[in-house]
Amino acid sequence: MVNEVCLRTLDLERPWLMEQYQSRGGYEVLKQVLSEKRAPEDIIEEVKKSGLRGRGGAGFPTGLKWSFISRNAPGQKYVVCNSDEGEPGTFKDRDILRYNPHQLIEGMILAGYAIGATRGYNYIRGEFWEPYERFEQALQEAREAGFLGDNLLGSGFDFELHTHLGGGAYICGEETALLESIEGKKGQPRYKPPFPAHFGLYGRPTIINNTESLASIPMILEKGGEWFADIGVKNSGGSKLFSISGNINNPGVFEIPMGTPFSELLEMAGGMKDGRKIKAVIPGGSSAPVIPGEQMMDLNMDYDSIAGAGSMLGSGAVIVLDDTNCMVKTLERMSYFYHEESCGQCTPCREGTGWLYRVVHRIETGQGRQEDLDLLDDVADKISGKTICALGDAAALPVQGMLRHYRDEFQYHIDHKRCMVGAG
């Protein structure tokens, strides 16, 4: 069960073309839904049944999210796709946009039909020029084929879809910051509630889903929610795209069933480079707390298994580190990232991420003080849960994870003013 959902056209030549997508049955389910005038409630029910959970990182059940929209409320509603892929280690949505853009388009149209929205935006990060062009080309093809525009295939349902390009801000992957960004503003997250389902883009009811989530919809509706759920395991329906990188032989994107043992994923990715020993794994993007390599070898790639080890599956971005990596240096780089990307709106995050970076930096450069480890714990604790959005938590979690598992390495840096790892 590899490449069964979002990457189902990957083996074809130029898989991004409409004719290739259609050769695998693409747009058939949309035609069927429109011609049979399938009940929107029925579609939402099927998505609920699939067990699909938000693939951007938060893991919120997609069907449930859709059901929060009052479908029959008058006025404009929106479907927004979050292709602002920026969680360090994540590079899967890029492949969906490059290799299977039509499936995302079909998924977005179906989402619009289900919630009663006639307009959609796909927010693609500004650096993704090649994926943007692929997606734009696919939009053009879809428009020409009558899958976008007014009165789709004579069904009476209208749907128009546009791309919005980002400008290089990690925070815009946060759904309300993303909405602000489409509105032409700084990407600073909004207070919730109100949630986007009630007050979203331009103040209208909006659903925002990740690229992979929306691209999964056509297959869920074609083969049924149960089919999708059964690919995975309990609480983690379906297959999932894992972006695996780091010190491995064959990094890349693998679409495999939820619940696949990590050891199998590592094998698919060619195993450890130069036959080195696995030291640590960041299992779900850089915000996910680190897990020691040995422990990781016994875990499965699903929400519950990873959560049980004190981390999270997040976006499915797996960073594998071998024994030449210094954990202090690794955390220093991660903390720099969150400091750099904090939007500056909430004091605990704006100031706290700077504290985290500076303290880890001085430990890394041999200036660490004995009280610094407690200070890091304290600062992380003072950020967690005290900010409008999750970026603060995302900055605090890796610090807490590193100190939980590699405190001795930090201590060594403080005591000896150098690294215990040769490469550090």
Q: Nearest approach, Cβ of 187 to other proteins (angstroms)?
A: 7
The stretch near other proteins (CB under 8 A) out of 8-16, 26-34, 80-88, 109-117 is 80-88
- Measured between alpha carbons, how far is 204 from 401 in angstroms, rounded to an integer? 39
Residue closer to other proteins, measured from CB, 8 or 339: 339
Query: H or E stretch including 143?
Result: helix 129-144
Does 242 engage in binding with other proteins (CB under 8 A)?
no
Residue closer to other proteins, measured from CB, 50 or 330: 330
Query: Which one among 244, 327, 360, 403 touches other proteins, defined by CB under 8 A?
Result: 244
Residue closer to other proteins, measured from CB, 5 or 253: 253
- Measured between alpha carbons, how far is 224 from 232 in angstroms, rounded to an integer? 14
Interface mask (CB under 8 A) for other proteins, residues 169-188, using x and -? xx----------xxxxxxx-
Binding residue count for other proteins, defined by CB under 8 A:
56
Query: Which one among 24, 143, 333, 350 touches other proteins, defined by CB under 8 A?
Result: 333
Query: H or E stretch including 278?
Result: strand 278-282
Interface mask (CB under 8 A) for other proteins, residues 22-61, using x and -? ----------------------------------------
The DSSP string of 343-401 is -S-SHHHHHHHHHHHHHHHHHHTT---TTHHHHHHHHHHHHTT-SSSTHHHHHHHHHHH
Does 413 engage in binding with other proteins (CB under 8 A)?
no
CB 106 within 8 A of CB 153: no
Query: Which one among 337, 406, 410, 412 touches other proteins, defined by CB under 8 A?
Result: 337
210 beta partners: 82
Q: What are the start-end ranges of the H helices in 145-290? A: 175-182, 211-223, 225-231, 262-268
Residue 155 has φ and ψ, to the nearest 5°, of: -90, -15
The stretch near other proteins (CB under 8 A) out of 60-68, 164-172, 355-363, 382-390 is 164-172
Does 371 engage in binding with other proteins (CB under 8 A)?
no
Nearest C-alpha neighbor of 312 from the set 125, 53, 97: 53
257 beta partners: 239
Longest dimension (CA), the chain: 74
Q: Is the peptide bond before 205 cis (omega within 30 degrees of 0)?
A: no
Packing angle of the helix pair 129-144, 101-115 (nearest 10 deg): 60
Q: Nearest approach, Cβ of 77 to other proteins (angstroms)?
A: 13
Does 265 engage in binding with other proteins (CB under 8 A)?
no
Rule CB under 8 A: which of 304-323 touch other proteins? 317, 319, 321
Does 16 engage in binding with other proteins (CB under 8 A)?
no
Query: Which one among 340, 371, 378, 415 touches other proteins, defined by CB under 8 A?
Result: 340
The DSSP string of 220-238 is HHHH-HHHHHHHSBTTB-S
Residue 208 has φ and ψ, to the nearest 5°, of: -120, 125
Rule CB under 8 A: which of 112-131 touch other proteins? 121, 125-130
Residue closer to other proteins, measured from CB, 233 or 394: 394
- Measured between alpha carbons, how far is 170 from 125 in angstroms, rounded to an integer? 9
- Measured between alpha carbons, how far is 55 from 47 in angstroms, rounded to an integer? 14
Does 301 engage in binding with other proteins (CB under 8 A)?
no
Q: Nearest approach, Cβ of 84 to other proteins (angstroms)?
A: 9
Query: Which one among 54, 57, 59, 89 touches other proteins, defined by CB under 8 A?
Result: 89
Query: Which one among 253, 363, 395, 414 touches other proteins, defined by CB under 8 A?
Result: 253
Does 93 engage in binding with other proteins (CB under 8 A)?
yes
CB 328 within 8 A of CB 413: yes
The stretch near other proteins (CB under 8 A) out of 57-65, 83-91, 145-153, 232-240 is 83-91
Q: Nearest approach, Cβ of 320 to other proteins (angstroms)?
A: 9
Query: H or E stretch including 318?
Result: strand 317-322
Interface mask (CB under 8 A) for other proteins, residues 188-217, using x and -? --------------x---------------
* Binding positions for other proteins, rule: CB under 8 A: 76, 85-91, 93-94, 121, 125-130, 162-170, 181-187, 202, 243-247, 251-253, 282, 286, 317, 319, 321, 325, 329-330, 333-334, 337, 340-341, 343
